[in-house]
């Protein structure tokens, strides 16, 4: 038989549990902030150099690279996210949805890197803009055009899929209503007539 003091020693106090959670949360926040600072100082310039090496200053190549990258890296994440949403409630759907969400994030990385150059205010973003101006002409505008085309295609497909699902759901409901047994209401029994004497 255990005494109350030993039970209290086995269970950590709530204060200690919350203290540990706060410390771990603060450490994770600091690590993420440092990682963001390092990546923000490195990635835009690095990505612009990779694009510049591929395009090599050619306007036509810049447009083609941008259109393909903008379209593929916008359409793939959107369709993967749609697949994740549609498979969420099915058997094994959470696993499939999680995998699709991770793949959507991975396929969106090139567009996200381009956005760090276009919208960034850091020195690395400004250096990336200058590199793309010289070595990757037409790339940024073409990425935007490809992304718009891919988003419009996604909206069209998503509308058609959702409309088909809605029609199927409405037809199943109508069929279920037709299959209900039709019970004809019986007329209420008339009260017995009271004979007059």
pLDDT truncated to tens, each residue of the chain (197 aa)?
A: 455 555 455 555 788 888 888 999 899 999 988 887 788 788 899 999 999 999 988 899 999 999 999 999 999 999 998 888 887 777 777 888 888 888 998 999 999 999 989 888 888 889 999 999 998 899 999 999 999 999 999 999 999 988 888 888 888 888 878 777 655 555 556 666 665 55
C-alpha distances (whole Å) from 14 to each of 20, 39, 146, 170 are 10, 37, 53, 52
Give residues with Cβ within 8 angstroms of 72, minimum separation 6. 107, 146, 150
Torsion of CA 27, 29, 30, 32, to 10 degrees: 120
pTM of the model: 0.68
The token pair at 121 is 């205010």
Helices (H), 56-92: 59-87
Total domain count, the chain: 1
Structural domain of 85? 24-172
In a domain, 103, yes or no: yes
In a domain, 47, yes or no: yes
């Amino acid at each position: 038989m255990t005494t109350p003091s030993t039970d209290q020693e086995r269970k950590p106090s709530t204060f200690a549990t919350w203290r540990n959670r706060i410390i771990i949360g603060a450490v994770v926040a600091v690590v993420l902030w440092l990682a963001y600072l390092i990546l923000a100082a490195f990635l835009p310039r690095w990505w612009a150099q990779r694009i510049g090496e591929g395009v090599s200053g050619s306007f036509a190549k810049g447009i083609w690279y941008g259109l393909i990258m903008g379209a593929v890296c916008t359409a793939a994440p959107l369709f993967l996210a749609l697949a994740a949403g549609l498979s969420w409630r099915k058997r094994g759907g959470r696993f499939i949805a999680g995998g699709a969400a991770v793949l959507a994030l991975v396929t969106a990385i090139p567009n996200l890197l381009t956005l760090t150059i276009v919208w960034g205010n850091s020195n690395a973003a400004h250096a990336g803009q200058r590199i793309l101006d010289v070595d990757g002409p037409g790339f940024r505008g073409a990425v935007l055009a490809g992304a718009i085309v891919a988003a419009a295609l996604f909206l069209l497909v998503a509308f058609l899929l959702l409309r088909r699902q809605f029609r199927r759901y409405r037809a199943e409901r109508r069929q279920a209503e037709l299959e209900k047994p039709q019970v004809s209401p019986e007329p209420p029994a008339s009260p017995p007539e009271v004979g007059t004497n």
